[in-house]
Structure 1
Amino acid sequence: MTINLKNGVDKLLFGMKQKDVELLYGKPSKQYSDEDDNVICLYNEQKLSLTFYKDEGFRLGYIICSHAEATILDKKVVGRNIETIKTELPFKSWTKEEFDTTENHFNESNWLILQSEYDDIIRIEIGAIINDKDEFDWKFK
């Protein structure tokens, strides 16, 4: 399960519609809408949560991945020590936000969040990049 920074995850590309995703992975294991009427699709086998933004014509704009084999730049991430991974990745700018038992480590240039609990990464979140025109840079046309 490759995290393709700024682009998507595995075969998924930011900008896909739900029907495009279903051609790849089938119907989601669960689907619901959030408080902004965005559609969230969960794929249990792939350990993916996909957010389709209502304000963007229900395009795929945010992905959460908890798959044990997830890699970023060929480095396995989930289950590994957060500080070790941050030194192995070429990104130097990280913002840390603490919650009760978890911490989010955010790299804005890649719109990447590594969420850790007890110093180990439990999930990866990536979002579609916003360009200089303040518009989403959709990768799927």
Structure 2
Amino acid sequence: MKINPKNGVDQLLFGMKQSHVEAIYGKPNKQFKDDDGNCIYLYYNEKLRLTFYEDEEFRLGYIIISNPEATLLDKKVIGKNVEELINELPFKSWEQEDFDSTENHFNESNWIILQSEFGVIIRIEIGAIIKDNDEFDWKF
């Protein structure tokens, strides 16, 4: 499962509608609305959480991945030491936030969050890029 910074994951591209995603993965295992009215799809086998933004005509805008096969620039991510991976990646600007036992390492230019617990990455979050004019840079 290849993470493509600024674009999406594998065949999933930011800007796809629910019907496009369902043509690839089928119906989600679980579907619900969040507090903002966004539509959330959960795919258990792929270990994906997909967010379709309500205020953007339900376009795919955010992806959370917990799949152990996920790669970022050909490097496996899940289960890897977070400091080692950050040092191996070409993205140099990272902000860190602590939440009890977890930490988020955020790279704004690629809109990637590496979430770690006990120093090991447990999930990756990737979002669509927002352009200078406050509009999303849709890839689909």
Q: Is the counterpart of residue 104 in structure 1 residue 77 in structure 2? A: no
TM-score w.r.t. length of structure 2: 0.99
User: What is the number of equivalent residue pairs in this alignment?
Assistant: 140
Corresponding residue for 1:91? Answer: 91
Root-mean-square deviation (Å): 0.4
Q: CA deviation at 1:100?
A: 1.1
Corresponding residue for 1:29? Answer: 29
Corresponding residue for 1:13? Answer: 13
Residues in 2 aligned to 1:73 and 1:16: alpha-carbon distance in whole angstroms: 22
TM-score w.r.t. length of structure 1: 0.99
Structure-to-structure mapping, 1:66-81, within 5 angstroms: 66-81=66-81
Corresponding residue for 1:118? Answer: 118
Secondary structure at 1:41 match in 2: strand
Residues in 2 aligned to 1:66 and 1:10: alpha-carbon distance in whole angstroms: 14
Q: Name stretches of at least 5 consecutive residues in structure 1 with no aligned partner.
A: none
Offset from partner CA, 1:59-116 (integer Å, 9 cap, x none): 0000000000100000001000000000000111000000011000000000000000
Runs of 4+ in 1 over 4 A off after TM superposition: none
* Percent identity between the two aligned chains: 71
Secondary structure at 2:13 match in 1: coil
